[in-house]
Amino acid sequence: MRALRALWWRELLRLANNRVHMVLMLLNPLLFLLVLGTGLGSMLDSGTGDGDYVSYLFPGILLMAVQAPALAAGLSIVRDREVGLLRGVLVAPVRRGTLLIGKCLGSATAAALQGGLLLAFAGFAGLSYHPLLLLALLAELTLIALTMTAFITLASVWITRITTFQSASSLAMLPLFFLSGALFSLDGLPLWLRVLTLLNPLTYAVDALRQTVAHGLPAGTFEPGLDWGGWVPPLGLELAVMSGLGAVALTLAAHRFARAE
């Protein structure tokens, strides 16, 4: 537990000591929210008032803000292995799986805190700053960040070269983000594309955030919820699915990392 706490705290100190990098990583989500949200929102007429698309887009922007720090966590593992710095950590009298889990937990916390900074713009999306609503969104962001970090960490223990990891992560994360419903509704999509969205784990992350956001908006602003053949999965089930997937990915990553290289 001391090793886990030390590694978790190390990632938070790294975040606090690199504030410029933290601000730069938030610029892209802010541009999507302020520019894309306002621009497309002015073109779309949903008939329920102004600013509806910005409200609909806000959960996807929160996911985007968490995605970038999670990718950076996996990249740091690959970089440390390639340059030899990882060996200095592995000589510690602690199980390798513990080291990986501690780093993953710290990186997920840092990613959730960065994503949580965007909650300051909740009013721009028409949300109230009710403490319970903000705490619920922050808790969901933490769970999503942990799941994403676990999957990216799993990839980082298999891929040993920085250039290969960067190419593979970019190739995977961009389609997953676009197929999550973060930017557009999944209703009316062709069958083959809808099947891909339902197989995408990020779809359930976006929908969980969107269901929570809908509780802070006037009734009828937009209708969240996925459609599984006429059945809408509840918020608790979506969070449970993400938790299970994250636990499996983290277990596999720790098992792989514990093997001698």
* pLDDT range class, residue 137, cuts 50, 70, 90: very high
Number of structural domains found in the chain: 1
Q: Distances from the Cα of 98 to the Cαs of 20, 74, 92, 104, 145, in angstroms?
A: 30, 16, 11, 10, 19
- Is residue 79 pLDDT above 50, yes or no? yes
- Tokens 């780093």 correspond to what residue? 103
Helix (H) / strand (E) element for 216: namely none
pTM listed for this prediction = 0.82
Mean pLDDT, range 26-37, rounded to an integer: 83
Residue 150: closest CA among 247, 69, 77: 247
- Interior CA angle at 215 toward 214 and 218, to 5°? 75
Residue span of the structural domain in which 78 resides = 2-258
- Is residue 164 pLDDT above 50, yes or no? yes
- Is residue 47 pLDDT above 70, yes or no? no
Q: Distances from the Cα of 246 to the Cαs of 8, 82, 230, 240, 249, in angstroms?
A: 17, 26, 27, 10, 5
pLDDT at 49: 43
pLDDT at 135: 92
- Is residue 143 pLDDT above 60, yes or no? yes
**Top-confidence range, 32-41, 81-90, 97-106, 237-246:** 237-246
Taking a C-beta distance cutoff of 8 angstroms, is the pair 203, 194 a contact?
Answer: no
| DSSP string across 30-64 | HHIIIIIHHHHHHH---SS-TTHHHHHHHHHHHHH
Which long-range contacts link 20-27 to residues 24+ away (Cβ below 8 Å)? 22/114, 22/117, 25/65, 25/68, 25/69, 25/72, 25/114, 26/65, 26/114, 26/117, 26/118
Mean pLDDT, range 117-138, rounded to an integer: 88
Mean pLDDT, range 24-52, rounded to an integer: 71
Query: Dihedral of the CA atoms 25, 28, 29, 31 (nearest 10)?
Result: 140
End-to-end CA distance of the chain: 25
d(CA 81, CA 76): 8
